[in-house]
Every structure is written in C-alpha cells, then in structure tokens.
Amino acid sequence: MARREITATPAPPDAAERRRAEGVVAYPVENLPPFDAAFYETARREMRKVSETIIPPRDARTFSVPAGHFFRIACPEGSQVGDLNLWNARDLSERFFSGKTRALHATHVTTGDRLWSTLPWLRPMATITDDSLAWYGWDADGAGVHDVIGTRCDPYTNLLLTGAEYHHCCHSNLSRALAAERNISPREAEPHIHDVLNVFMCTGFTRDTHQYFMKASPARRGDFIEFFAEIDLLAALSACPGGDCSASHSSDEAQCHPLLVEVFRPAAHKLAHWAPPAASAYSRSHGAG
Ligand SMILES: [Zn+2]
C-alpha cells in the first residue's frame, strides 16, 4: 500500500501552492576543481599494469592502489554487479562517504565524478576517469548505472525479511576480505564496512511509491569503469550474489560472474605537477571556541 493511502491527514487548502515551491540544487558544485580530462588522458597514455586481482563470484577481495595510480574494474566474463568499499590505506577511519558523494554529484556516478571521503576529511579519494557505460545515462524508468543510493546486501536485512541466514551477502564478503587483509576477525573487520559504490548496478526509485528498485545491469563482457586514486587507497570489492541483479540477491539463485581489477602506474613525469588533495581545512571548532 502506498504511504499516502494510509495517512489520514487532509491536505490544507493551499497544498497546491506549497507544492509549487521551486527546487534548488542543494550543493552547487561550480566551485569544485573542474574535471581535467586532458590530464588523465595524458597520464593514461604512458602507464603499465602493476597488479591484477580476480574477485570470485559471491566473494570479495581487497586490493591496494597507491595515490596517482589508475584502477579499472571490469566484467571479464559476463554481467556482474560489484560492491566497492574504499579506505585511506593509512587510516581506515577515513573511508568512502556514499551519502555525501550522492548529495554532491547524483544518485549514480560516472566519468568526472569523485568519490568523497567521510568527515572530517571530506576530500576526493578517487576520480572516475572513464566509464564504458556512460552512454546509459537515465533510462525511461529513471534508472541509472553505478549507484550510490543502495547500501550493500547484508545478512541482517536478509534475516529480517526472509527469516533465513545467508553468509555471502556483500556485507559479509567485504567483512571476510578485510579480515583476511588485516589479519583480524570478521567481527573486528565488520565495523569498517560501509555503504558502497554499486559498480555496474542499475537502479532507481519507483515513480509511484519511490521505492528502491533494481533491474538487469546493462554491463556486458568487457565493460569497465576506471578510477584515478587521489590518495593511497585500500579497497575491497565484492562480486554480489545477485549477479546482474535482474531478479534477486542474498541467495545462491542468480548466475554470478567474477570481476577483474587492474591497477596501472602512469609514468612519473606525467604526474610531476600533481599532488594528492589535502584534507578539509575546516577548523573543527564547531562554534565551541
Ligand atoms: Zn550485494
């Protein structure tokens, strides 16, 4: 039942007028440094691959990306959604801030958008420098690709909704991967797992009830999204048990494929005038003196 059908509050006489208020973009981004496509294009021209990681289906792996390196996430075999976590490699408390990234850019991100870190740092952790699915844009259902509106599939919500335990949700996969990386238990790793960038996932909100929906990812074998690491990154990527997320997740029902991560180092002279972004300069006084 739609929410409006169960509320009994009558609309006031000026309801139409109140609804006519014009929306303004909450966070104008004109003052952010512009996306320097030429810089990334030049840097990409002379680079060599320094590592490669295969993410097995229904599982996750970590990988490191030094500042100033590119990394690409690809579908080497078939359509597959990936759930990405990013941390400052030196301090796990600085991590990807999905909510503010959404507020600054959009519900779905593509070339030119940045992945921002949590407060009090609030700086670009990575910049999206290429996206083979950039052509998708927004479809007739209002859906887009690479979402920052979903969180990650997790065993708690699954238990809540189905009454069953499933251990290969992205949240659990990411917890196990970080635990293995840091030689800690999954329980110790779990608080570091955060809302993700849903790579290749095609999602939106239903027009009538505004509920989160997913549909078959348009990604095909060979599709990729490329990032430039703005700071030293530790990353974890889960190959979602939902596969292309066309029907279900949080189970072994969907057909799943591996994901491929490649890290590239540009020639040093290409980065001669580049420096990692500084953390926010806010005083942190919060008005308390
Ligand atoms: Zn998932």
Tens digit of pLDDT for each residue in 187-227? 999 999 999 999 999 999 999 999 999 999 999 999 999 99
pLDDT at position 251 is 82
Tell me if 132 is assigned to some domain.
yes
- Ligand 1 centroid vs 242 CA: distance in angstroms? 6
Ligand 1: distance of its center to the CA of 42 in Å? 35
User: Domain span at residue 162?
Assistant: 50-267
Dist. CA 287 → ligand 1 center (Å)? 40
Q: How far is the CA of 216 from the centre of ligand 1 (A)?
A: 14
Q: How far is the CA of 130 from the centre of ligand 1 (A)?
A: 23
Query: Is 129 inside any structural domain?
Result: yes
For residue 87, how far is its CA from the centre of ligand 1 (angstroms)?
19
Q: Could you tell me the distance, in angstroms and rounded to a whole number, from the CA of residue 243 to the centre of ligand 1? A: 8
Tell me whether residue 203 is in a domain: yes
Query: How many Å lie between the centroid of ligand 1 and the Cα of residue 14?
Result: 44
pTM of the model: 0.95
Q: Does a structural domain hold residue 160?
A: yes
pLDDT of residue 208: 95
198 belongs to a structural domain = yes
pLDDT at residue number 252: 86
Give the integer Cα–Cα distance in Å for 279 and 117: 9
Please give the distance, rounded to the nearest whole angstrom, from the Cα atom of residue 7 to the centre of ligand 1.
33
pLDDT value for 254: 87
Residue 281 falls inside a structural domain:
no
* Cα 103 to middle of ligand 1, angstroms: 22
* Beta pairing class for 197-205 and 82-88: antiparallel
Domain count within the chain: 1
How far does residue 263's CA lie from ligand 1's centre (Å)? Answer: 23
Question: Does 15 fall in a domain?
Answer: no
Q: What is the pLDDT of residue 3?
A: 60
- Rounded to 5 degrees, φ, ψ at 95 are -140, 170
Question: Ligand 1 centroid to 137 CA: how many Å?
Answer: 22
The answer to the question of residue 236 being in a domain is yes
Find, among 144, 190, 188, 148, the residue nearest to 167 by Cα.
190
Please give the distance, rounded to the nearest whole angstrom, from the Cα atom of residue 224 to the centre of ligand 1: 18
Say if residue 111 is exposed, middle or buried (CB neighbours under 10 Å; 0-12, 13-18, 19+). middle
Span from the CA of 201 to the centroid of ligand 1 (angstroms): 10
Which stretches of the chain drop beneath a pLDDT of 70?
A: 1-6
| pLDDT value of residue 1 | 45
Q: What is the CA(240)–ligand 1 centre distance, in A?
A: 4
- Spacing, Cα 74 to ligand 1 middle (Å): 16
Q: How far is the CA of 140 from the centre of ligand 1 (A)?
A: 24
Ligand 1 centroid to Cα of residue 9, in Å, is 38
Confidence at residue 5, expressed as pLDDT on a 0 to 100 scale: 65
